[in-house]
Structures are given as structure tokens and as C-alpha cells.
């Protein structure tokens, strides 16, 4: 595994570390997840597959369904 050096404002880094600590992970873990996600997002098909997976996990969401004007304005 290779190391890299990043620069960011001290306060931002402190806030990110606090958030990661509260979630029981390290900032390095979160960065690795972000980096993997960033690389995968460059692959359009991966993004499409991820979207389809989310839509299948949400059966109440009816993607592609057309709504009437009255339905869209319901509150």
C-alpha cells in the first residue's frame, strides 16, 4: 500500500477525524472508501448498476413512472 500526502485546513481535518471517530472508523478508512467510490464513479456503467441496485432495494420507488399534474401538485 502506498502513502499519499493531502493538504486541508486544520479545522476541517479535525472535524473529519471527530466524525470518523464517532462512527468508529479512522479517517484513513473513510478516505479509502471515498477513493474507491471516486474511481468507480468514473465508470458510467458502474454508476448505472449502482442506481439499479438502489432502485431494486426500494420497491416503493417507481422509477420511470409518469405522474399526472394533479399527482405532482398533491401535498
| pLDDT, averaged across the chain | 83
Mean local confidence (pLDDT), 24-37: 90
- Residues 26, 18 contacting (CB under 8 angstroms): no
Q: Which of 33, 57, 37 is nearest to 46 (CA)?
A: 37
The domain ranges of the chain are: 12-57
pLDDT of residue 42: 62
- Dump pLDDT digits (tens) for 38-58: 787 666 677 777 778 887 787
Distance (Å, whole) CA 6 – CA 70: 51
Q: Give residues with Cβ within 8 angstroms of 20, minimum separation 6.
A: 26, 27, 29, 30
Distance (Å, whole) CA 16 – CA 29: 12
Structure confidence at residue 62 as a pLDDT band (50, 70, 90): low
Structure confidence at residue 22 as a pLDDT band (50, 70, 90): very high
Amino acid at each position: 500500500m502506498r502513502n499519499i500526502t493531502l493538504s486541508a485546513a486544520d479545522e476541517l481535518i479535525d472535524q473529519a477525524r471527530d466524525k470518523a471517530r464517532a462512527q468508529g472508523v479512522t479517517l484513513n478508512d473513510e478516505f479509502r472508501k471515498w477513493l474507491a467510490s471516486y474511481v468507480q464513479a468514473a465508470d458510467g456503467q458502474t454508476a448505472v448498476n449502482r442506481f439499479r441496485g438502489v432502485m431494486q432495494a426500494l420497491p416503493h420507488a417507481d422509477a420511470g413512472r409518469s405522474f399526472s399534474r394533479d399527482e405532482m401538485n398533491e401535498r
